[in-house]
């Protein structure tokens, strides 16, 4: 709901209120953001600072108005009028002047939200959920108009905002910075959490207290980046997963971004998010306009998991669109780590058969199927099938898979060009390289200049042909290097400071066209793993490869951080071989599954080399995942409190009828004493049954103890044991079962059985939990 009363704008969602007003000087003064307010009569005077004289060295707004913009909370801050904090808008006019002053002019309140694609992806929602406010501001002396557009999403407590600047004057101006969102807060008693990392360790949670000064979370590499995701959280000191006040911002954008969090000398906090001003210069001639990406804002007073719930709901319902929206995602096998570049058609078909046997639904052919690509030094750009590898051709190969009743998926990396390619020979100026300067290079490849219409046309045609030929059901859209040597000979570019943004606009235009032509293809975005995991890509591609790092232990931090801002349905998570190809660490197959199940499950190992034991395990895993797929992909995710050696995640359906808990032990602790599983999220008025998912243990894991345990647990005499052992490959994990009330589970917890400690083994009760051991507990509400 959006209302305007006596100059105060009230933007309310179910549980939050956002207030700002037009103050005496005509500025948009921010008043409040937080828990929902029921009062409708709100006075601007009571919520804004009252100054009779400027403070010390402070600058009064004018000779007749003593208010200091430096302490006024604003919706859009500008330079040159005494507010020395970070500005939301910076531009130069008249040969380098930069003073700006935007004053309220008019507004419109509209039902719903326009969802027309105008170059940048936007969130969407219908009239029953969304209201939109468009406020027009005018620069006091220049003929510039600024429109701030706010939309409320009542169903998930999200507010979005973007800004559009119009140049109504004959003089050209250059925009250096235009933030999508500004949020000014009264105090600085907040912690900032960012999601930081690098390749193979993306989006680790990084929380620290705010202190006077500016903290910048940004990307300058051309992509939203694994280094610093555009999503950030602010939270009160006492905020945890289940309690406390917190808020989040994010950006619907895939390129360079910048989030500035500034604590002013007066102890107020300013948050800004938008396109990164570093390297950004955008010329605006008469009658031209520039629109920022849309930013999102959400608030909760019930802890991080509730905040994430808002973000997940928003992404699933107002970002992801089209055929795959809220649809269950297929379980896939990807041949990359099984074969790398070294495959033949018959090897792939055997792999597909083995995958089908265990219940897999989608076969993904990764890198190496096109041009003359034997390694990563060639052929990007040559999107024609390599018939030496796929001897029957793309169409016939795909048909074989479809006849097996498997979906067919294909890897592409369209935004790139190898120097060693036919495309480079033909169009060297399509590569982003500065003429006359030795270019830097990433993974032996260059970026294609997607600002050019002819490049996008080429890609659209080449990709459409291949997608059609293979009747492709799924595309993994990869992007494996960041930007350097920015230059384009595209005549439409007036200034190289436009390049990065124009590139992203080019990418979005291409994706928009392809997705319209192939609405049923399931696209998964990838950028050397999770180097471009953002709401911009999710607007076109419903899922994203989380990380190249599939080590179960590493994935705990990566998935946990990713799930703070993005739903599990967006997260590609695979079970891979051991030793793990990124870390050489070994985790057992059940644990690899238990972690990968919290997202879109896939396998990325050579299934032709599985032992019978492993095949049986995988079959059971897939059957289990299929039973609870909707919860694993669309359930509410909560990180449960646990001691530092343990990770506990929960995912559940909205009614809390089925709750799945991951219980992961980093290091085995001998003779650990009591261990309690507390689930403070159950519905306390119901009774629940609790079971661990049945996992398999290899007899070999017991080493020379195996004979003793089997003898004692089965009663078989020593003489016959050797024979029995040969047949007996595995045993099942404990079969413990509890029936308890939700209240008991939430408040007291259940005692888990003793872990294996060298003093004996009860096949029904003893929990074998080695380093990196884990279980999934299934908690089901009784009818
Ligand atoms: C990137 C991806 C991998 C794989 C390779 C293929 O590294 O992240 O998953 O597709 O490219 O070259």
Q: Look at residue 719 in the predicted model and tell me its pLDDT.
A: 65
Nearest atom within ligand 1 for CA of residue 366: 10
Q: At what angle do helices 612-634 and 589-596 cross, to 10 degrees?
A: 20
Residues near ligand 1 (Cβ within 6 A): 336, 366-367, 411, 478, 480, 526, 528-529, 545, 548
Q: Which residue, judged by its Cα, is nearest atom 7 of ligand 1?
A: 528
> What is the 529 CA–ligand 1 centroid distance (Å)?
7
- The active-site residue out of 218, 548, 549, 588 is 548
> What is the 574 CA–ligand 1 centroid distance (Å)?
13
Q: Please, which residues have CB within 8 angstroms of residue 622's CB and are 6 or more apart in sequence?
A: 331, 358, 359, 360, 601
Is 548 marked active-site?
A: yes
> What is the 571 CA–ligand 1 centroid distance (Å)?
16
Positions of the chain with pLDDT under 50: none
**N residues, the chain:** 783
> What is the 100 CA–ligand 1 centroid distance (Å)?
47
Q: Which residue, judged by its Cα, is nearest atom 11 of ligand 1?
A: 528
Q: Look at residue 648 in the predicted model and tell me its pLDDT.
A: 98
Q: Look at residue 700 in the predicted model and tell me its pLDDT.
A: 81
Query: CB burial class (10 A; 0-12, 13-18, 19+) of residue 64?
Result: exposed
Distance, in Å, from the CA atom of 237 to the CA atom of 245, rounded to the nearest integer, reads 9
> What is the 302 CA–ligand 1 centroid distance (Å)?
38
* CA-based radius of gyration for the chain: 28
Nearest atom within ligand 1 for CA of residue 411: 10
Give residue for tokens 């029957």: 392
Q: Which residue, judged by its Cα, is nearest atom 5 of ligand 1?
A: 367
Q: Which residue, judged by its Cα, is nearest atom 2 of ligand 1?
A: 528
Distance, in Å, from the CA atom of 721 to the CA atom of 706, rounded to the nearest integer, reads 10
| Cβ atoms within 10 Å, residue 666 | 14
Can you list the alpha helix ranges (DSSP code H) found in 204-302?
A: none
Distances (CA, A) of 778 to 241, 574, 741: 21, 21, 14
Q: Look at residue 164 in the predicted model and tell me its pLDDT.
A: 98
What confidence tens digit (pLDDT) does each residue in 465-498 have?
999 999 999 999 999 999 999 999 999 999 999 9
> What is the 482 CA–ligand 1 centroid distance (Å)?
14
3-state secondary structure 89-104: EEEEECCCECCCCEEE
Distance, in Å, from the CA atom of 212 to the CA atom of 191, rounded to the nearest integer, reads 12
Q: Look at residue 726 in the predicted model and tell me its pLDDT.
A: 65
> What is the 691 CA–ligand 1 centroid distance (Å)?
37
Do you find a cis peptide bond into 388, omega within 30 degrees of 0? no
Q: Which candidate, 252, 11, 1, places its Cα nearest to that of 123?
A: 252
CB 526 within 8 A of CB 534: no
Q: Which of 200, 341, 477, 548 for mutating ligand 1's site (highest number of atoms within 8 Å of CB)?
A: 548
The continuous run of DSSP H or E covering 194 comes out as strand 190-196
> What is the 476 CA–ligand 1 centroid distance (Å)?
9
pTM of the predicted model as reported, rounded to 2 decimal places: 0.97
Q: Which residue, judged by its Cα, is nearest atom 1 of ligand 1?
A: 528
Nearest atom within ligand 1 for CA of residue 528: 8
Q: Which residue, judged by its Cα, is nearest atom 6 of ligand 1?
A: 367
Distance, in Å, from the CA atom of 343 to the CA atom of 365, rounded to the nearest integer, reads 10
Nearest atom within ligand 1 for CA of residue 548: 8
Q: Look at residue 728 in the predicted model and tell me its pLDDT.
A: 64
Q: Which of 226, 343, 371, 526 for mutating ligand 1's site (highest number of atoms within 8 Å of CB)?
A: 526
Nearest atom within ligand 1 for CA of residue 529: 8
Q: Which of 409, 478, 481, 543 for mutating ligand 1's site (highest number of atoms within 8 Å of CB)?
A: 478
Q: Which candidate, 375, 377, 369, places its Cα nearest to that of 466?
A: 369
- The active-site residue out of 478, 549, 551, 620 is 478
Q: Please, which residues have CB within 8 angstroms of residue 783's CB and are 6 or more apart in sequence?
A: none
Q: Which candidate, 133, 142, 59, places its Cα nearest to that of 103?
A: 142
């Amino acid at each position: 709901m959006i209302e305007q009363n006596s100059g105060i704008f009230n933007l309310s969602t179910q549980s939050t209120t956002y207030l700002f007003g037009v103050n005496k000087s005509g500025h948009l003064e921010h008043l409040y953001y937080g828990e929902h307010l029921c009062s409708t009569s709100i006075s601007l005077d009571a919520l804004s600072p009252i100054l009779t004289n400027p403070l010390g060295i402070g600058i009064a707004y004018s000779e007749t108005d003593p208010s200091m913009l430096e302490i006024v909370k604003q919706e859009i801050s500008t330079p040159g009028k005494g507010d020395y904090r970070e500005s939301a808008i910076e531009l130069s006019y008249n040969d380098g002047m930069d003073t700006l002053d935007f004053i309220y002019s008019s507004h419109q309140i509209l039902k719903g939200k326009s969802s027309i694609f105008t170059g940048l992806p936007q969130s969407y929602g219908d009239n029953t959920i969304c209201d939109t406010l468009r406020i027009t501001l005018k620069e006091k002396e220049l003929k510039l108009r600024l429109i701030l557009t706010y939309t409320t999403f009542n169903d998930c407590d999200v507010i979005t905002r973007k800004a559009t600047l119009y140049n109504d004057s004959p003089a050209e101006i250059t925009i250096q910075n235009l933030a999508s969102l500004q949020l000014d807060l009264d105090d600085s008693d907040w912690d900032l959490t960012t999601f930081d990392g690098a390749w193979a360790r993306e989006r680790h949670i990084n929380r620290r207290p705010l202190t006077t000064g500016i903290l910048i979370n940004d990307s300058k590499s051309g992509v939203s980046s694994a280094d610093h995701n555009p999503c950030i959280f602010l939270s009160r000191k006492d905020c945890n997963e289940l309690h406390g006040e917190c808020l989040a911002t994010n950006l619907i954008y895939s390129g360079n971004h910048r989030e500035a969090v500034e604590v002013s000398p007066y102890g107020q906090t300013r948050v800004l998010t938008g396109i990164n001003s570093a390297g950004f210069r955008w010329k605006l001639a008469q009658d031209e306009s520039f629109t920022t990406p849309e930013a999102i804002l959400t608030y909760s007073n019930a802890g991080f998991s509730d905040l994430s719930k808002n973000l997940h709901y928003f992404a699933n319902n107002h970002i992801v669109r089209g055929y795959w929206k809220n649809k269950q995602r297929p379980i896939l096998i990807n041949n990359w780590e099984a074969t790398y570049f070294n495959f033949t058609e018959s090897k792939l078909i055997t792999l597909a058969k083995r995958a089908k046997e265990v219940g897999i639904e989608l076969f993904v052919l990764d890198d190496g199927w096109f041009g003359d690509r034997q390694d990563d030094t060639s052929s990007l750009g040559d999107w024609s099938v390599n018939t030496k590898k796929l001897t029957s051709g793309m169409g016939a190969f795909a048909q074989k898979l479809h006849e097996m009743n498997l979906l067919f998926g294909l890897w592409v990396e369209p935004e790139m060009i190898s120097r060693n390619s036919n495309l480079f020979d033909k169009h060297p100026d399509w590569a982003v390289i500065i003429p006359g300067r030795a270019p830097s290079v990433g993974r032996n490849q260059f970026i294609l200049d997607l600002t050019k219409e002819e490049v996008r046309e080429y890609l659209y045609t080449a990709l459409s042909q291949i997608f059609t030929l293979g009747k492709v059901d799924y595309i993994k859209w990869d992007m494996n290097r960041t930007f350097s040597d920015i230059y384009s000979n595209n005549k439409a570019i007036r200034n190289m400071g436009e390049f990065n943004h124009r590139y992203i606009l080019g990418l979005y235009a291409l994706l928009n066209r392809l997705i319209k032509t192939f609405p049923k293809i399931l696209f998964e975005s990838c950028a050397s793993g999770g180097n471009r995991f953002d709401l911009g890509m999710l607007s076109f591609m419903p899922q994203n490869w989380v990380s190249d790092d599939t080590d179960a232990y590493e994935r705990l931090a990566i998935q946990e951080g990713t799930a703070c801002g993005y739903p599990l349905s967006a997260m590609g998570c695979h079970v891979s071989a051991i030793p793990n190809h990124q870390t050489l660490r070994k985790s057992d197959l059940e644990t690899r599954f238990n972690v990968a199940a919290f997202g879109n499950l896939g396998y990325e190992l050579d299934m032709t080399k599985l032992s019978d034991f492993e095949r049986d395990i995988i079959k059971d895993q897939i059957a289990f995942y299929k039973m609870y797929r909707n919860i694993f992909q669309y359930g509410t995710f909560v990180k449960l409190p646990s001691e530092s050696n343990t990770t506990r995640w929960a995912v559940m359906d909205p009614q809390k009828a089925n709750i799945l808990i991951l219980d992961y032990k980093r290091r085995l602790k001998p003779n650990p004493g009591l261990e309690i599983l507390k689930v403070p999220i159950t519905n306390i008025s119901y009774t629940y049954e609790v079971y661990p998912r049945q996992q398999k243990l290899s007899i070999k894991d017991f080493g020379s103890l195996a004979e003793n345990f089997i003898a004692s647990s089965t009663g078989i005499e020593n003489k016959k044991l050797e024979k029995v052992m040969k047949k007996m490959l595995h045993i099942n994990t404990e079969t413990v079962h509890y029936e308890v009330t939700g209240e008991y589970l939430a408040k007291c917890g259940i005692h888990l059985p003793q872990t294996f400690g060298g003093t004996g083994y009860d096949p029904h009760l003893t929990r074998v939990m080695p380093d990196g051991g884990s279980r999934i507990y299934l908690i089901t509400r009784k009818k």
